[in-house]
Each structure stands twice: as C-alpha cells, then as structure tokens.
C-alpha cells in the first residue's frame, strides 16, 4: 500500500516546504502538486529543512484528474459541509478503513485543497471518501501543513520508508470493482447525475477486501447474464 499526498493549488511556497518536512518526518516521500501558484521557489526548500529530496521528487500536475490517474483510492480532506450529501469520516477512522482494503487497493492518495477555500465540490467528487479533522473552534482553521502533519502522523503505520523492499502491486481489485459497477449501471441506463448514483459509489468505497471480492463475483455473474 503506497500513499501519496496531493496538494491542490497551494498558494504559499512556505506551506509546500512545511508539508515536505512533515511528510519526511513521518516516513512519507510521495508529494504531488496540482497547479501550484509559486513553486519551485527557494522559500519552499528553506522551510523544508532537511527534506529537500521530497520537494525534488514532487510531481506537478495541471489538474486533480491527472494527479489521480494511477491512484486506486482517493481520500478528500474537508470539514466544510456541502449541499451535496456526503459521509464525513473522522481522521482516526482512516487507518481502519485503509487496513480493511488489504490487497484491494495499492496506490492511495490523501487530497488537500488550497489555503483559502479548500477543495471544490467537483474535486471532492473525484475522490472516493471524505475525511475530516474535528476542530474545537471554527476559526482560525488549521494551516495546510498542520493538517498534512496530522494525517501523516495518523497514517504513519503505512509509511513507505518502513517498507522500502515491498514491490509495487498492479492496480487493485477495488478499482476493477468500481469500473464494473459503472458499466453495470450504464447497461441498465441508471442516471449518473442522480444523488443515488453518487451514494452507491460512496458506500462501495467503504467495503473491506473480502466484501470487494464478493461484489466483484456478483458483478461478474451479472455481466455474464446481461450478455445473453
């Protein structure tokens, strides 16, 4: 299980540097930047302090869709309640959710929005679930790098540094299940712009590895039946 951290349109190079330092201290080294406003800049490398290799390895993407291209399972981070109905999962539950995936997923992304407004509804829709950090006070909100540090600490048992010798697995079963579910719903002309459609995939995102196998088996049989 490999975890990447994605910053969407970060504005301040100092925050990018602080994020690199936070990731490095928790054993992560995969950072992806979506349309950063001020990077690369010397300020970022100065704040990174001993973690410049994370910044040097960071990949830059024109949009979130591109950054998620090889990702099996994406977690949006947001505390802002939206008009669209979503389940919000406490940060402390995230290790449990990911652990249950086992071999269903290989590449995971934790996605953070920009400093001013966070992730948009459209960007959240590209992710599988939403996670949040509970705050005692609404304002001031957490700094971007502080939020990343809390997630990196919480997910440190999955640290890539501790597992350097692990070979990269092919795309996991979870993504295959999602693709088959989308195809099956399309076959019965199920509208993909309905709230129920989005909720179906939101619930599928929480399935354990065993349940993913079960749903895959069911969808395979369903697909065979519709072929006749």
- Per residue in 65-98, pLDDT tens? 999 999 999 999 998 766 566 789 999 999 999 9
- Per residue in 94-123, pLDDT tens? 999 999 988 888 899 999 998 888 899 999
Q: Does the residue 76 lie in any domain?
A: yes
Q: Are residues 123 and 177 in the same domain?
A: no
DSSP 206: T
Ramachandran region, residue 113 (left: φ > 0; alpha: ψ -120 to 50; beta: rest): beta
* Mean pLDDT within 173-200: 86
- Per residue in 125-169, pLDDT tens? 999 999 999 988 776 678 999 999 999 999 999 886 544 444 444
Q: Does the residue 79 lie in any domain?
A: yes
189: domain range?
A: 173-227
CATH of the domain at 122: 3.40.1280.10
Q: Does the residue 168 lie in any domain?
A: no
Q: Are residues 32 and 135 in the same domain?
A: yes
Number of compact structural domains in the chain: 2
* Mean pLDDT within 212-222: 87
- Residue-wise burial string across 124-149, b where 16 or more C-beta atoms lie within 10 A, e elsewhere: bebbbbbbbbeeeeeeeeeebbebbb
User: CA angle 88-93-96, nearest 5°?
Assistant: 130
Q: Are residues 92 and 186 in the same domain?
A: no
Q: Are residues 15 and 102 in the same domain?
A: yes
- pTM for the whole thing? 0.80
């Amino acid at each position: 299980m490999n975890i990447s951290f994605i910053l969407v349109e970060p504005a301040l190079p100092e925050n990018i540097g602080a994020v690199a330092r936070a990731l490095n201290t928790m054993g992560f080294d995969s950072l992806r930047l979506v349309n950063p406003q001020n990077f690369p800049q010397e300020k970022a490398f100065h704040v990174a302090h001993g973690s410049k290799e994370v910044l040097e390895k960071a990949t830059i993407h024109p949009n979130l869709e591109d950054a998620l291209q090889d990702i099996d399972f994406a977690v949006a981070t947001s505390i802002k309640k939206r008009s669209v109905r979503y389940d919000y999962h406490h940060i402390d539950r995230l290790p449990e959710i990911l652990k249950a995936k086992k071999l269903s997923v290989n590449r995971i992304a934790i996605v953070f929005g920009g400093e001013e407004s966070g992730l948009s509804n459209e960007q959240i829709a590209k992710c599988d679930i939403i996670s949040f950090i509970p705050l005692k006070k609404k304002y001031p909100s957490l700094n971007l790098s502080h939020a990343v540090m809390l997630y990196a600490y919480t997910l440190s048992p999955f640290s890539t540094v501790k597992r350097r010798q692990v070979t990269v697995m092919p795309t996991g079963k979870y993504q295959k299940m999602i693709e088959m579910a989308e195809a099956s719903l399309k076959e019965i002309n199920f509208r993909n712009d309905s709230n129920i459609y989005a909720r179906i995939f939101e619930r599928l995102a929480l399935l354990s590895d065993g349940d993913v196998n079960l749903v895959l088996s069911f969808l395979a049989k369903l697909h065979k039946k519709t072929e006749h």
